[in-house]
Structure 1
């Protein structure tokens, strides 16, 4: 089931849209002027990914006359840096998983002038998130987008290397961190063995290790903790497996990208994790 989580309108404004990947110091921006409409939907009981949300919505938008200007996924966009180049409705209405989002900008020529539309899809926990912005001449009819609530029949990808090759991201699901700690618990971690082998086998691949926390404590403290967790994994891969330090960066987003409900011990444990995002293969 899809629920409208946010809706706003402005009669006349300027709005900037990223229309290129992250280019090191910024993204190329397109500034549009006109009436702004912004809506956010949350799709309940969603077990797919952002691309599966994006595909049918983009098809509907293009069928209404919008030509593609720019499109990318979390890897091709530039991940962490690109996400924060976008003006996005904040939590809790809209949630963006830094390892799984899709982005599309379209333009439609009208007698009154150009209309622009930006669509962002992501997921978090058991929900899908859809963020739609339109900047257009004020007298245009509203955009119609039908949101499917059917869970896509996605193929499960169990192999970490295959996930990195096909999706550009993977979750290190077997790591164990205690609440408030950046120290990996004692034990062997098959996911790190797999990741190390993949990186050694693909020496030109660069990745970002993105740390996550549960929701206990302040956001500032959790961002620092999540970055420390990612750095702990990076150090483990360097010292234990000899992975090149230059292949890996470490970042943290605190509790802003949960996979599960923080109200339970099980959910908090799932949220204390590290994800891998491919940033370059050259």
Structure 2
């Protein structure tokens, strides 16, 4: 009985992404369905990219290699990966050891068909501080606020081979004085989708609105999980302004749309803020009267394609100009 109780503790289950999340999760945070999270863990950071390329640590990291290669991350200790990528950081409830957390993650990965490529603990990783820094820095500009001052470090890299593209997962678990942290990198390999910049000029907007009462725009782009309009959006915004100037009696709804991932209420709020940013830009920079523009956030409520795949989700993330 004592042995069974001990095994039950070591095999403490991971939660899948579909289960309830703690209220303190980062806004819009989503677990990766192939990785999940340790039960009771709180997501503190998320950084997702539709396509990224970087090196994932797959060997011991030593200060000697760093000196000889002239860089902490090199061909000596890392492999190139590219595709759809996400970085997540979790805080684990107090009282759970780094070893317990990592073994649960390893068990979950194995159950999902992953093969372990490399795993280490403390000095097995080479120089633990070098390993910690290398993993933290693999994703530029996304060190995730990973806390230093830890007493134990474990690391695992695993690969899932599948016809639609391989998936690589790297998990770093480090134990601080009070609790453990988990840093997760997931890369779903697939070719970069080119030709994604769709430009709709004022004439095409005119035709679409006359025909259907609305026009979908994909040239207005925002920062990830943000309402900040990216500079690449300027040509499309100029065409929107040109279209509105050519139709001075026309009032429109500026509607923001998201894909179906994440919480419903959060996506409504995000799409509303993005619509408000577009209205503010058209008013401030192009002199369009604010009274002619009504911002509206539809969130995920009006998809035009399936949210079950990347291609569909990309179509659903859009801004629409709708005739009032």
TM > 0.5 fold call: no
Question: Which one has a larger percent helix, Structure 1 or Structure 2?
Answer: 2
Task: Give the structure, 1 or 2, with the largest relative contact order (CA under 8 Å, sep 6 or more).
Answer: 1
TM-score (norm 1): 0.45
Question: Which one has a larger percent strand, Structure 1 or Structure 2?
Answer: 1
| Structure with the greater alpha carbon radius of gyration | 2
